[in-house]
Amino acid sequence: MPEPTPLVCMLSAAHPPADVRVVAKEGAALAEAGWRVLHLCPAPAGQDASAPLREGAAPGGAGTVPDSHAGVAIRTYRRGR
């Protein structure tokens, strides 16, 4: 049985879901190298944690969170009060 692909979890307390440096540069480089990558970050104001984005919606649009971008899975958590 083949070994599972390793997973990198990039945990952020400040970066937005589709942050260019975290997702499109660091995360994409890891994904290209064969890693599974997850960016766990705060949900945008007014949005539920990990609310699904409709199919075909553009990443980074106002108040939207993509399910993935540049090979990086994106999940959000609710900000503290």
Each residue of 38-48: pLDDT tens digit?
999 998 887 77
What is the per-residue pLDDT for 50? 64
Each residue of 13-69: pLDDT tens digit?
999 988 999 999 999 999 999 999 999 999 888 777 765 544 444 444 545 567 899
What is the per-residue pLDDT for 64? 59
Count helices and strands in the chain by DSSP H and E runs: 1, 4
What is the per-residue pLDDT for 20? 93
User: How do beta strands 7-11 and 36-42 pair?
Assistant: parallel
Helix (H) / strand (E) containing 31:
helix 28-32
